């Protein structure tokens, strides 16, 4: 059996899920079935973001090729499944519609996004030029456990209530030649 193994954070412009869903390099270890071994699933979540150049994937395993996408601060927030309570599609739609209304009221520029983990996905919003504190406030308002935040230098997944970064990745090294 052959696997393409891609290290976390080592690649620009390639998504590990298309190439190596069953094998992943984590530190110095090749994990053949990382879905079962790693309970820290947030680092494997990826987001499809719409931007002026089209659509791009972003995650802790994948950084877009275009530096311009990453230079502008943004948060990715959803209103789906508050506090990990699984709601039906209709209730999630209503909650996300309410979140979109709040974003519009606050006059932020935003686009739609999809968060994906293995076979599961949630609709969300990429909100541009929002401070991390304001993004956490919105996450708390909609009872979310975490938000994804890009500062323009690093990406984080941050707990909404405690405001603690649980994952941090400084991606500037990927663009040092630009």
Mean pLDDT over each residue of the chain, to the nearest integer: 76
* Whole-prediction pTM: 0.73
Alpha-carbon distance 4 to 24, whole Å? Answer: 8
Per-residue model confidence as pLDDT tens digits over 56-79:
777 766 777 777 778 899 999 999
- pLDDT tens-digit series, residues 117-163: 666 788 999 999 999 999 999 999 999 999 999 999 998 989 999 99
> How buried is residue 178: exposed, middle or buried, by Cβ count under 10 Å (0-12/13-18/19+)?
exposed
């Amino acid at each position: 059996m052959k696997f393409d193994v891609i290290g976390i954070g080592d690649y620009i412009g390639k998504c590990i899920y298309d190439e190596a869903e069953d094998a992943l390099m984590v530190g110095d270890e090749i994990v053949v079935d990382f879905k079962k071994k790693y309970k820290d699933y947030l680092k494997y979540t990826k987001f499809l973001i719409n931007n002026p150049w089209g659509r791009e994937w972003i995650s802790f395993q994948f950084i877009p090729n275009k530096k311009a996408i990453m230079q502008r601060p943004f948060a990715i927030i959803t209103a789906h499944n508050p506090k990990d309570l699984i709601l039906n599609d209709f209730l999630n739609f209503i909650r996300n519609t309410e979140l979109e209304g709040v974003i519009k009221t606050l006059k932020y520029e935003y686009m739609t996004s999809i968060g994906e983990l293995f076979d599961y996905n949630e609709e969300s919003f990429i909100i541009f030029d929002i401070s991390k504190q304001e993004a956490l406030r919105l996450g708390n308002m909609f009872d979310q456990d975490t938000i994804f935040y890009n500062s323009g230098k690093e990406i984080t997944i941050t707990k909404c209530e405690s405001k603690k970064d649980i994952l941090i990745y400084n991606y500037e090294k990927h663009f040092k030649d630009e």
